[in-house]
Structure 1
Amino acid sequence: SAQLAATMGVEEESKSKSLRYNSPIVQVSLIGLVCFCCPGMFNALSGMGGGGQVDPTAANNANTALCATFVVFGILGSSIYNVLGPHLTLFAGCSTYVLYAGSFLCYNHHHNQTFVVVDGGLLGVRAGLLWAGQGAIMTSYPPPNRKGSFISLFWSIFNMGGVIGGLIPFILNYQRAEDDASVNDSTYIGFISAGTLLSLGILPPGRVIRDDGTRCTNIKYSSHGVFVLIYAYFFQPMKRRHVAIFSEEMPSQNFYLFNIS
């Protein structure tokens, strides 16, 4: 019995260590909640088709602007993250999701497509920052032998955002007539605003301590010249490795855009 009690004591101590605010699992769960509230609600809003509008033209044009800027800042986001750190990078990335949802609220009342398209382009810029920060956290915070588990945890939390976000208009419109079905003006604003504030709770790598006592390594490039060399290499004529990456990514992204249009 003494051995059993000692074993249970060790398990309780290990569990308490894992649930520290500055532990990797809490920080990964937090970034999962951030993406649950921001990109998750964006997926729900886009998944309704046309951003919940009867005429999908404005949403389709906004998605075009989004992808055009995202393809650039998806590459530049990592260098910006190195300069700003997780707090400002994630906060800047999340804040535009509020504007994007707000642009559709404005479109509901004023039918100003320009505002929606401009916000779509801004969202592509800031989304590049958000996903760069998310990638840095997911690859540097977890211990090497548990990265797969942490990645699964993140994606489970993140994708629940689309599920919950999809249930919201279903519940709100279930008893309405077809002509009256719509999404309430404040449906997604609360979630996205909460995610934006949660992003400020992400700790920098130097303050995150793993269960074995080691700290996460904050890897930064030594100079801006290194950034230039990396981007110059990336934009060289297509190499075999680039073809392999694009051949995997293009079908999934094409399906994603088809699904939300």
Structure 2
Amino acid sequence: MAQPQPAELEISKHVPIDDVPALNSYEEEEEVDHAYLAAPKQTRIFRGVLLQMILLGALSFVGPSLADAISGLGGGGLKDPDLANLARALSSTMTCIVTLFGGPLINKIGIKTACVIASFAFFFTGSGYYVNLKYGVQVYLVIARVIVGGSNGFLYVAESTAMLSYPRFQDRGTYISIWSAMRNSGGIIGGAIILATNYKTSGAGAVSAATYLIFLGFEASGPIWAFLLSPTKKTRRPDGTKIPTSKEITWKSELKALALHFRHPRVSFTTTRLQLHAFVANTDSCYLPNFTFLATHFSVRARALASFLGPTGAVCTALLFGRFLDSKRISRKVKIWLGKTLVLVPQLASFIWVGIEWNKYPNKVALDYDLSRSTWAAAYLGQLLMHCSGFCFQVYLYWILATFSNDLKAASRIGGTFRAFECAGQATSFDLVSKYPRALKTFYFNASLIVHATIFMIILAKSVPETPAEVDDMVRGLDQVAEDESVESKQ
């Protein structure tokens, strides 16, 4: 009896190869650019992958990272966190909508253009919180967060595409961790600013208005870093090779390729689970209830110190974890399973820790490291552990996603799809904690989901191929799309 053939093979049998353009073929072979290797050192640095990672990190530094530093205060540093959490929920919703179509957008306009678009909206974050705190204009804060959410969608897909495709496979752990460290450096600087401007405030309430003005200065520098980026076609790896990129296709084909991604078993099965895991373990959403916990149970200066210590610890652990993922002394199979253990065990432990501490303080208090150091430490260290392990999870997840394909356009599609699901989890999480009485219940809900997410992460780890594909393996059969377009154009 004849064996049933996969749909991809059936398509290839019925489509004449000579009549269909190879949409998964490369524009140029992956060959060494000797002109680049012979160029002056400053040119090699300017066009090199390392500088592109640093510049992308700088963009995250002055954009999402400083926004996270404000969120790290608990409720955006406002006395009442409800409005800030609602604004973040709307912002994440807008980001989700943009990233949903991020793959086709990045493939058509390019990584640099997407980053330039995003950079011009960074200043809305600080200005929104400042205007609300200074003048009580809440509408502007909400509108500002919506604008930033939409523009951040461009940056999120652009940076995820670069993370997944720019470095060589054996170096991706290190480069991803460098980007993650740069992204957290904004939190360190922002946390230091917050601590310096609020260290005298031992009671509860809102942070100093001057805090947001300093943030505005950093955010306004975003376009500088974006314009310094090199276009992908001019970017080179350390060995002189170009970034593997498949041929250009039409908008219609891009949308059909995106649809094929959503229908692919790997995405339909694993990305939904990644959203679930992002909801409980991603760096921006795993401790969202803790943001409310900080706002309602810690003094202003204790929250300011937390916004400094969290990113500092995350930078150190992320860099070490990235070096571990690129270690040549450990087999890839061992790194996959050991890395997952190093991420999930601290996550589970921190959830238990924070849950115990939260139940100790059902009502609003203002825990302070100077007034009661041991009590403050016991309440905060669990959240610090969750923060550090959350960023290690981010590095690990990007590293896993990078194992499936080397193609830039494939990276943009999978990166956009993942960030869309991730942002959906964030939006849901912020919405659930927009009212304090529900925050503790949300925490318990997260804790129950992390058990299921752990199971699905094991399934994802088992699906990792031996070597990355050189094409977008999810759109094999897209040649039929090109034939359909060719027929339609002739009619």
TM-score by length of 1: 0.83
- Unmatched tracts of structure 1, length 5 or more: 1-12
- Out of 189, 207, 213, the position equivalent to 2:240 is 213
List aligned pairs for 1:35-184, cutoff 5 A. Answer: 35-175=60-200, 178=203, 181-184=207-210
Q: How far, CA to CA, are the matches of 1:240 and 1:177 in structure 2?
A: 48
Provide Cα deviations, 1:175-223, integer angstroms capped at 9, x if missing partner. 4574795141412011111233211111111111222221223446512
1:257 corresponds to 2:288: yes
- Unmatched tracts of structure 2, length 5 or more: 1-37, 293-491
List aligned pairs for 1:221-232, cutoff 5 A. Answer: 221-232=248-259
Provide Cα deviations, 1:18-43, integer angstroms capped at 9, x if missing partner. 97111111111111111112111011
The amino acid that maps onto 2:137 is N
Deviation at 1:234?
Answer: 5.4
Q: How far, CA to CA, are the matches of 1:67 and 1:220 in structure 2?
A: 32
Provide Cα deviations, 1:198-257, integer angstroms capped at 9, x if missing partner. 111111111112222212234465122223224434556994334433332221254243
1:240 corresponds to 2:266: no
Please identify the structure whose Cα radius of gyration is greater. 2
Residue 255 of structure 1: SS of its match in structure 2?
coil
In structure 2, do the counterparts of structure 1 residues 128 and 172 end up closer, same or farther at CA, with 3 Å as the change threshold?
A: same
Partner of 1:201: 228
1:191 corresponds to 2:218: yes
Q: How far, CA to CA, are the matches of 2:286 and 2:140 in structure 1?
A: 26
The amino acid that maps onto 2:123 is V
Residue 188 of structure 1: SS of its match in structure 2?
helix
The amino acid that maps onto 1:126 is S
Q: How far, CA to CA, are the matches of 1:91 and 1:20 in structure 2?
A: 21
Mean Cα deviation higher: 65-74 or 170-179: 170-179
In structure 2, do the counterparts of structure 1 residues 54 and 19 end up closer, same or farther at CA, with 3 Å as the change threshold?
A: farther
Residue 180 of structure 2: SS of its match in structure 1?
helix
The percentage of aligned residue pairs carrying the same residue is 23
The amino acid that maps onto 1:197 is I
Query: Do the aligned residues in 1 keep the contact of 2:103 with 2:258 (CA within 8 Å)?
Result: no
Query: Do the aligned residues in 2 keep the contact of 1:78 with 1:129 (CA within 8 Å)?
Result: no
TM-score by length of 2: 0.46
Provide Cα deviations, 1:109-134, integer angstroms capped at 9, x if missing partner. 22121111122122221111101110
Q: How far, CA to CA, are the matches of 1:65 and 1:243 in structure 2?
A: 21
In structure 2, do the counterparts of structure 1 residues 107 and 188 end up closer, same or farther at CA, with 3 Å as the change threshold?
A: same
Query: Do the aligned residues in 2 keep the contact of 1:205 with 1:218 (CA within 8 Å)?
Result: no
In structure 2, do the counterparts of structure 1 residues 214 and 183 end up closer, same or farther at CA, with 3 Å as the change threshold?
A: same
